[in-house]
Amino acid sequence: MNDDEPGLSDLEESIVAPVVGTDDRAYEAALRPRTLEEVVGQDRVREQLALVLDAATARGSVPDHVLLSGPPGLGKTTLAMIIANQLSAPLRITSGPAIQHAGDLAAILSGVMEGDVVFIDEIHRMSRPAEELLYMAMEDFRVDVIVGKGPGATAIPLEIPPFTVVGATTRAGLLPSPLRDRFGFTAQLDYYEPQHLQQIVTRSAGLLALDLTVDGAAEIAGRSRGTPRIANRLLRRVRDYAEVRTGGVLDLAAARTALELYEVDDLGLDRLDLAVLRALCASFGGGPVGVSTLAVAVGEERETVEEIAEPYLVRLGFLARTPRGRVATPAAWRHLGLTPPAGAEVQLSFGDDVPGAQS
């Protein structure tokens, strides 16, 4: 995992964290859709991808390189596996952090066979020299293998057969544009609608042979923050509860009680999210307040507040990052059962998303 990214241990502990946790892995393999038809939601991406793959198959050529971009847990790895599956092609899996030297990538690419799919997860974390090698391989199907060291080193060009790179990134903005430009197709994954999440947990319940009712599924979906990975994780917590307390029926009451027990509220806010909102409204009158001050008030690192709690609060329209600091919106006050002060609307006119705004 990405040890260098702040607050990750907190992320993994949290039940509503979008990133993969240790107990997700075993389940995810079983719950992953294996074909495009099984993928729920993301209709546009699914149609576009189907077209790219079908056209290549019809032409008897390899498809364009594909970049999958979007927040954690929305299905990038799933789609990469499906691409290889639909092409009946072997999938070679690697990741940006694993490719620190151009030679690491050269070693992988020099073993590629015609039509292989090379999946590079977290592609934005590759080293610069490796990126440069990748451009060339993607465009010209050629890599320069460096033989020897220092001034005597020579580059031996090596042809590689046509293949397809599937890159995945949570931070498309960090990809240098020459690399981005070499992908013929970019799929931008977006957060899921509640009805799609409901379909996803219903499907997962079927695969796990669970007795999940329609309203139970809707309840879990509503608390899943638009993210299939979270939906599947909440489903497992509700299952635990149901097995022990309700004889195995995952209905609305079981879902509600279980998720309240795990401190996931009806919008999917957890303890940290609520602590941030409460501090902002109750201790700082709704702001503006600097993020560092806010972090101290909830007893967390600034990074934890900024990267774990805030993105979803901003997405919900509960918190605004203004040049003068963080501000609670009237919706946030109301979610806490508080009355927004007069003028809460006015404060928002400072702007709504200024990353790195005053702290």
Alpha-carbon gap, residue 16 to 9, rounded angstroms: 13
**Contact partner at residue 320 from ligand ATP, Mg ion, none, CB < 5 to 8 Å by partner kind:** none
Minimal distance, residue 333 CB to ligand ATP, in Å: 33
User: Which residues between 230 and 259 bind ligand ATP (CB under 6 A)?
Assistant: 232
Alpha-carbon gap, residue 316 to 306, rounded angstroms: 15
Query: Nearer Cβ to ligand ATP, position 31 or 289?
Result: 31
Provide the token pair at 347: 């404060």
Minimal distance, residue 57 CB to Mg ion, in Å: 25
70: left (phi over 0), alpha (psi -120 to 50) or beta: left
**Contact between 234 and 215 (Cβ < 8 Å):** no
77 annotated to a ligand binding site: yes
**Contact between 295 and 302 (Cβ < 8 Å):** yes
Alpha-carbon gap, residue 160 to 109, rounded angstroms: 7
Residue 303 within binding range of ligand ATP, rule CB under 6 A = no
Binding mask 13-42 for ligand ATP (x = CB under 6 A): ------xx-------x--xxx-----xxxx
Residue 77 within binding range of Mg ion, rule CB under 5 A = yes
Residue 224 within binding range of ligand ATP, rule CB under 6 A = no
Helix axes 271-278, 291-298, angle to 10 degrees: 120
DSSP string, 15-64: TT-SS--HHHHHHHHHHS--SGGG--S-HHHHHHHHHHHHHHHHHTSPPP
Helix axes 214-222, 194-207, angle to 10 degrees: 120
User: Which residues between 157 and 186 bind ligand ATP (CB under 6 A)?
Assistant: 170
Q: For 184, which DSSP code?
A: S
- Give the chain's radius of gyration (CA, Å): 23
Query: Nearer Cβ to ligand ATP, position 201 or 344?
Result: 201
Interface segment toward Mg ion; rule CB under 5 A; list 59-67, 72-80, 90-98, 143-151: 72-80
Minimal distance, residue 20 CB to ligand ATP, in Å: 5
Q: For 37, which DSSP code?
A: G
Alpha-carbon gap, residue 173 to 41, rounded angstroms: 24
Query: Nearer Cβ to Mg ion, position 86 or 170?
Result: 170
**Contact between 45 and 76 (Cβ < 8 Å):** no
Query: Nearer Cβ to ligand ATP, position 40 or 281?
Result: 40
Minimal distance, residue 168 CB to ligand ATP, in Å: 6
Helix axes 252-261, 228-245, angle to 10 degrees: 100
Q: Binding residues for ligand ATP, how many (CB under 6 A)?
A: 22
78 annotated to a ligand binding site: yes
Query: Nearer Cβ to Mg ion, position 65 or 76?
Result: 76
Provide the token pair at 157: 């060009």
Minimal distance, residue 77 CB to Mg ion, in Å: 3
312 annotated to a ligand binding site: no
Q: Which residues are catalytic?
A: 76-77, 121, 170, 229
Provide the token pair at 20: 């993969």
Query: Nearer Cβ to ligand ATP, position 229 or 239?
Result: 229
SS3 335: helix
Residue 170 within binding range of Mg ion, rule CB under 5 A = no
Residue 69 within binding range of Mg ion, rule CB under 5 A = no
Strand 154-159 versus strand 117-121 pairing type = unpaired
Residue 132 within binding range of ligand ATP, rule CB under 6 A = no
Cα four-point dihedral sign 295, 298, 304, 309: negative
User: What residues are designated binding site for Mg(2+)?
Assistant: 77
Q: Which residues of the shown chain bind ligand ATP in the complex (CB under 6 A)?
A: 19-20, 28, 31-33, 39-42, 72-78, 170, 200, 228-229, 232
Q: Which residues of the shown chain bind Mg ion in the complex (CB under 5 A)?
A: 76-77
User: What residues are designated binding site?
Assistant: 31-32, 73, 76-78, 139-141, 182, 192, 229, 302, 321, 326
User: What residues are designated binding site for ATP?
Assistant: 31-32, 73, 76-78, 139-141, 182, 192, 229
